């Protein structure tokens, strides 16, 4: 048992070193305490092992994702901390041998804290080995994967004398012992530009002439490498064909762009930290950076730390463009042109982690762009080993397509719309009309979006918004998703990938972002705000009472109700034996009065969160809510039933006949 191996290694350490940790890691107080790391971690593991093994949350409608409560964890960040109190995070182990950046050992010790939030599933951002060529920051992006079969060694504690695989096994064992499932995130269509597969399999990659420079941001130099430039006429044609799902004879990039690409080199060698290929004529070539796959006129510069895998090998499509990496041309995606050995290598990744680490699911990054047949095989192979193995899609669209492809959940669009009331209302109404065929994540933030408390100017206003959105998401057909740090009011983003203004991106430059650099959460004072942990758990407890009703996604089971005040948001869920309602004041600065019509014959509704009563007069609630205040309530759906009633009908003064009438009545909740 790997967890016991870690405990044994700790027992063999000879250290009386001191080490600071946040008190929130093992108590409800907000401060810092000094511990002996050997003692602290040993006792944490012993406490976990002493706890009776807990069962996983049961599946709902034959799908455990629907009963999941997710904690999204970035392993090197979540448990990073200035343990020696010198005001900086060290990238090397401290004198006592322990690391200040996040590790599996520290995350094991954090599991009881995570469990106390109400979490039963951990989603790990990529933990695989990271490349170096073109990396941003001091640590590089976890999405610049050097080898998907290897784990990032920086996540181990060197002082233990164990390999990182053993420490990750111990982490999964500890999670499973506490009834927590583990989902890993993978990127299957890109690799770092110095990836381990390149030298052994150069034909799995695209190559360009080594003397070609990258295009500068904001320029249109066609002699430099970047996403291909199309004329307005071609762009219109491309977008229309894609809209019609016509992938035959898609317009290719111009010849100048295509000629940048070379054939597969005969040999590859490392030169000054980069991989350089040698062509038959003696010239050299290099691995090009990736870029946004859609739309074809995206203006982002190339991503210098990753490249695209060459899923198909066809001489007429030897280039990177929208029609070779996402909207695969019909002529390209024929079985004969599949890069079969590459596909087999990709298909083997998930079974490797199932067999060696017993993981429970995967999140597929950019899964929308994988060839359909490859994705199908990934799902089939994983579920041959574990039938209930979960697949989550990093897809902002909630659609039947994801369900048909085997996904159990998608990212969804809440992070895009939650901070814009009109769009939020429209989005929820839209989902109510079309139905939610696959659950989406109940969160307004993830590692690419602004933090909840950063919205609306941060501070108390952002704090109210964070609570409001968490409560609202709890009544939607969504899977609760805690982006690590949200519960301690983190305002600093991990990345500025989506929904940031130009000024906000300047405020958070890449050299400061945790996705690329060392960073620690503000565990010691939670940004001067009350932590949300107890609040999160209280809302989850309310949600659990109505889980089967709330996770129903049929058409018509979710509807926004308008009041006479546009700042007031209300949604009603139907479909089971009960209706569940949410009313909230979306003004996070001040009080709002409103009148709201609601279908019930009750004279009062009880707020399940605060316990207060909302009076109902003539089917209308008239109330005043303070800034960001909300209420969650339930009331029975009117039950219709019939029964036979014996009635005497007098046809004349001298004739009476008994007959039976079937009468339909409605029993209204009172």
How high does pLDDT run on average in the chain?
93
User: How does pLDDT run across 491-506, given as a tens digit for each residue?
Assistant: 999 999 999 998 999 9
Give a yes or no: residue 641 inside a domain: no
Give the mean pLDDT of 213-238: 93
Count of domains forming the chain:
3
Give a yes or no: residue 487 inside a domain: yes
- Of the residues 548, 564, 584, which one is the last residue of a structural domain? 548
Residues 368, 320: one domain? no
Provide the edge-to-edge strand list for the sheet that holds 274-278: 208-209, 284-286, 274-278, 267-271
- Of the residues 306, 327, 342, which one is the last residue of a structural domain? 342
User: Which H, E and C letters describe 81-118, residue by residue?
Assistant: CCCCCCCCCCCCCCCCCCCCCCCHHHHHHHHHHHHHCC
**Calpha distance 107→163 (Å, rounded):** 16
* Tokens coding 637: 């759906």
Residues 363, 328: one domain? no
User: How does pLDDT run across 360-391, given as a tens digit for each residue?
Assistant: 999 999 898 999 999 999 999 999 999 999 99
Residues 479, 561: one domain? no
User: How does pLDDT run across 534-577, given as a tens digit for each residue?
Assistant: 999 999 999 999 999 999 999 999 999 999 999 999 999 997 67
pLDDT at residue number 600: 85
pLDDT band at 400 (very low <50, low <70, confident <90, very high): very high
Residues 349, 331: one domain? no
Phi, then psi, of 364 in degrees rounded to 5: -100, 115
Residues 118, 74: one domain? yes
- Burial grade of 380 (CB within 10 A; 0-12, 13-18, 19 or more): exposed
The contacts of residue 260 (CB under 8 Å, 6+ apart) are 208, 209, 212, 225, 288, 319
Of 29 and 644, more confident: 29
- Beta bridge partners, 656, equal 650
Which of these ranges, 12-26, 42-56, 234-248, has the smallest mean pLDDT? 12-26
Residues 63, 164: one domain? yes
Distance between terminal CA atoms of the chain?
57
pLDDT reading at 16 higher than 90: no
**Residue 265, Ramachandran bin (φ over 0: left; ψ between -120 and 50: alpha; else beta):** beta
Give a yes or no: residue 654 inside a domain: no
Nearest to 485 by CA among 446, 448, 517, 434: 446
User: How does pLDDT run across 301-351, given as a tens digit for each residue?
Assistant: 778 999 999 999 999 999 999 999 999 999 999 999 999 999 999 999 999
Residues 186, 208: one domain? no
Residues 437, 540: one domain? yes
pLDDT at residue number 577: 72
pLDDT at residue number 651: 37
User: How does pLDDT run across 237-287, given as a tens digit for each residue?
Assistant: 999 999 999 999 999 999 999 999 999 999 999 999 999 999 999 999 999
pLDDT reading at 112 higher than 80: yes
The contacts of residue 573 (CB under 8 Å, 6+ apart) are 475, 476, 549, 550, 552, 557, 558, 579, 580, 581
**Calpha distance 285→37 (Å, rounded):** 49
CATH number for 576: 2.60.40.1180
**Calpha distance 311→337 (Å, rounded):** 9
Instruction: Tell the residue number behind the tokens 């989850």, with chain if given.
Output: 540
Helix (H) or strand (E) holding 444: none
pLDDT at residue number 168: 99
Residues 389, 510: one domain? yes
pLDDT band at 637 (very low <50, low <70, confident <90, very high): low
Residues 385, 372: one domain? yes
User: How does pLDDT run across 572-621, given as a tens digit for each residue?
Assistant: 999 767 899 999 999 999 999 999 999 888 899 999 999 999 999 999 99
CATH number for 95: 3.20.20.80
Give a yes or no: residue 645 inside a domain: no
Give a yes or no: residue 651 inside a domain: no
Contacts 24+ apart (CB under 8 A), 170-175: 170/2, 170/3, 170/5, 170/6, 170/104, 170/105, 170/108, 171/104, 171/107, 171/108, 172/357, 172/358, 172/359, 173/1, 173/2, 173/3, 174/3, 174/45, 174/48, 174/108, 174/111, 175/111, 175/122
Give the mean pLDDT of 406-422: 97
* Domain containing residue 600: 552-635
- Of the residues 548, 568, 584, which one is the last residue of a structural domain? 548
Give a yes or no: residue 409 inside a domain: yes
Residues 258, 132: one domain? no
pLDDT reading at 158 higher than 50: yes
Residues 354, 478: one domain? yes
Give a yes or no: residue 106 inside a domain: yes
Give a yes or no: residue 657 inside a domain: no
């Amino acid at each position: 048992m790997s967890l016991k191996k870690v405990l044994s290694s700790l027992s063999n350490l000879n250290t009386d070193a001191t080490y600071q940790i946040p008190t929130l890691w093992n108590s409800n107080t907000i401060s810092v305490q000094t511990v002996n790391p050997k003692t602290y971690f040993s006792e944490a593991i012993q406490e976990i092992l002493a706890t009776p093994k807990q069962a996983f949350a049961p599946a709902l409608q034959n799908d455990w994702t629907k009963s999941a409560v997710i904690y999204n964890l970035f392993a090197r960040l979540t448990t990073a901390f200035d343990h020696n109190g010198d005001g900086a995070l060290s990238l090397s182990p401290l004198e006592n041998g322990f690391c200040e950046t996040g590790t599996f050992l520290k995350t094991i010790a954090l599991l009881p804290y995570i469990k106390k939030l109400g979490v039963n599933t951990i989603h790990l951002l990529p933990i695989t080995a990271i490349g170096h060529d073109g990396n941003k920051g001091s640590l590089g992006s976890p999405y610049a994967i050097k080898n998907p079969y290897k784990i990032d060694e920086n996540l181990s504690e060197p002082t233990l004398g164990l390999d990182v695989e053993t420490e990750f096994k111990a982490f999964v064992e500890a999670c499973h012992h506490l009834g927590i499932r583990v989902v890993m995130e993978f990127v299957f269509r890109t690799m770092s530009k110095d990836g381990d597969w390149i030298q052994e399999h150069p034909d799995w990659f695209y190559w360009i002439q080594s003397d070609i420079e990258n295009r500068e941001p904001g320029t249109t130099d066609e002699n430099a490498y970047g996403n291909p430039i199309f004329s307005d006429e071609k762009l219109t044609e491309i977008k229309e064909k894609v809209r019609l799902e016509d992938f035959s004879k898609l317009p290719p990039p111009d010849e100048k762009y295509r000629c940048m690409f070379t054939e597969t080199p005969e040999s590859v060698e490392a030169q000054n930290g980069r991989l350089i290929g040698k062509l038959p004529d003696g010239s050299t070539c290099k691995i090009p950076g990736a870029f946004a796959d859609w739309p074809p006129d995206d203006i982002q510069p190339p991503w210098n730390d990753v490249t695209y895998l060459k899923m198909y090998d066809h001489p007429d499509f030897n280039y990177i463009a929208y029609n070779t990496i996402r909207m695969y041309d019909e002529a390209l995606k024929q079985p004969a042109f599949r890069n079969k050995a590459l596909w087999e290598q990709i298909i083997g990744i998930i079974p490797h982690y199932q067999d060696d680490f017993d993981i429970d699911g995967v999140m597929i990054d950019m899964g929308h762009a994988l060839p359909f047949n490859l994705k199908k095989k990934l799902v089939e192979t994983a579920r041959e080993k574990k039938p209930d193995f979960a697949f989550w899609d990093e897809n902002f669209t909630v659609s039947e397509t994801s369900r048909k492809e085997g996904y159990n959940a998608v990212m969804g669009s809440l992070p895009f719309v939650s901070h814009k009331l009109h769009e939020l209302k429209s989005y929820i109404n839209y989902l109510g009309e079309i139905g939610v065929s696959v659950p989406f994540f109940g969160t307004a933030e993830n590692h690419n979006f602004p933090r909840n408390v950063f919205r609306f100017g941060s501070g108390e206003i952002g704090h109210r918004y964070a609570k409001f959105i968490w409560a609202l998401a709890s009544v939607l057909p969504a899977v609760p998703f805690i982006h690590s740090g949200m519960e301690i009011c983190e305002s600093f983003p991990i990345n500025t990938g989506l929904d940031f203004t130009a000024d906000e991106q300047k405020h958070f430059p890449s050299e400061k972002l945790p996705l690329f650099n060392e960073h620690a959460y503000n565990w010691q004072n939670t940004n001067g705000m009350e932590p949300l942990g107890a609040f999160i758990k209280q809302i989850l407890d309310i949600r659990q009472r109505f889980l089967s009703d709330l996770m129903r996604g049929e058409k018509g089971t979710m509807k926004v109700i308008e009041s006479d005040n546009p700042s007031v948001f209300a949604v009603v869920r139907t479909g089971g034996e009960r209706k569940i309602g949410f009313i909230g004041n979306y003004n996070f600065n001040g009080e709002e009065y409103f009148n709201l019509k609601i279908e019930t014959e009750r004279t009062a509704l009880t707020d399940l969160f605060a316990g207060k009563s909302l009076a109902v007069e003539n089917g209308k609630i008239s109330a005043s809510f303070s800034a960001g205040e909300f209420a969650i309530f339930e009331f029975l759906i009117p039950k219709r039933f019939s029964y036979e009633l014996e009635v005497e009908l007098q046809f004349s003064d001298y004739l009476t006949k008994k007959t039976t009438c079937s009468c339909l009545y409605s029993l209204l909740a009172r």
